[in-house]
Amino acid sequence: MEPLRFNNIYLGDAKDILPRVEDESVDLIMTSPPYAEKRKKSYGGIPENEYIDWFMPIAREFKRVLQPKGSFVLNIKEGANVQRETYVIELILELKRQGWLWTEEYIWYKTASMPGKWPNRFRDSWERCLHFTKNKKFNMYQDSVRVPIGDWSKTRLNNLKSYDKKRTISASKSGLGRKVMNWKGRDLVYPDNVLKFAPVCKNMRHSAAYPKELPLWFIKLFTKKGDIVLDPFIGSGTTGLACLESNRNFIGMEIKRKYFNLANKNIQLEQQRLINDEKK
Ligand SMILES: C[S@@+](CC[C@H](N)C(=O)[O-])C[C@H]1O[C@@H](n2cnc3c(N)ncnc32)[C@H](O)[C@@H]1O
């Protein structure tokens, strides 16, 4: 079988293309698959009760192609009607049974979402970004996603109490501790696990595109320049755009010709833009 080329998108079903990816060759799998029952008209929704059977053979391929210190980030959200669907919870359990460690859950809080009224709940303005790894030790470049320390430092760090000057152990008995004084004089700190990015849709001409900032954040956190990122459900090509911007390589897959063409166009435009920027 011919190996896949980097910075290329392949047209077809991910389950048929994934076997062409070499063992342990990918540093990060960053993807947003079709959600159950969603977008039946655009790209066919998988029924909720078939979702696990559909996803698990693909996840087995993910496990084969991911390098031992790599990460798999799954952006997904269960829908709701009378009550919430449970397939994402079942999927997490099934992935754990397959041998994945469910290392963390990040929340994508969709800022600037439109107002609305529902009879039994409020607007759903967050999605899950589930972080799975193959091992306890994995590549994580925490400094690459540091954020400005914020105004709290002006009051809190200028008014240190005696207990801020020594390491205090968390009351939750997690074994973790902190020493507030350590942050004095610093401009940047580590972020929390709630990511605040505005949603996009129309300008990407894909109804379920995520904003480039979302994959970019995980790419910076879990890979370094030159690493390989796989998105087997690449849609409009957003993960590829984030890779171009951050000098990572990507492999994309997309089942629908319409989105395959769109993704290729978006990638070409971005490549051209980067060349023009370099010439300036
Ligand atoms: C949630 S969208 C991904 C959107 C993408 N993150 C973006 O920003 O544009 C899921 C995509 O997976 C594609 N897809 C669905 N089933 C697939 C399969 N079996 N193999 C490859 N792609 C598939 C859909 O056509 C759709 O474009």
**Cβ(209) – ligand 1 distance below 6 Å:** yes
* Residue 25 within any structural domain of the chain: yes
Domain match, 196 and 166 both: no
Phi, psi of 30 (to 5 degrees): -120, 115
Domain match, 161 and 274 both: no
Query: Which three-class secondary structure state does DSSP give residue 243?
Result: helix
* Residue 2 within any structural domain of the chain: no
In tens digits, what is the pLDDT along the chain, a chain of 280 residues? 778 999 999 999 999 999 999 999 999 999 999 999 766 666 567 999 999 999 999 999 999 999 999 999 999 999 998 899 999 999 999 999 999 999 999 999 999 877 889 999 999 999 999 999 999 999 999 999 999 988 777 777 777 788 878 887 877 766 777 777 787 878 899 999 999 999 885 566 788 899 999 999 999 999 999 999 999 999 999 999 999 999 999 999 999 999 999 999 999 999 999 999 888 8
* Residue to mutate, 110, 253, 254, 261, ligand 1, most ligand atoms under 8 Å from C-beta: 254
* Residue 3 within any structural domain of the chain: no
Return the residue matching tokens 């074994």.
175
Domain match, 225 and 155 both: no
Domain of residue 47, CATH code: 3.40.50.150
**Cβ(13) – ligand 1 distance below 6 Å:** yes
**Range of 154's domain?**
147-189
Q: How far apart are CA 236 and CA 215, in angstroms?
A: 13
Domain match, 22 and 158 both: no
- pTM here is 0.92
Alpha carbons within 13 angstroms on the beta-carbon side of residue 219 total 27
Atom of ligand 1 nearest to the CA of 256: 25
Domain match, 119 and 233 both: yes
Domain match, 51 and 173 both: no
**Cβ(230) – ligand 1 distance below 6 Å:** no
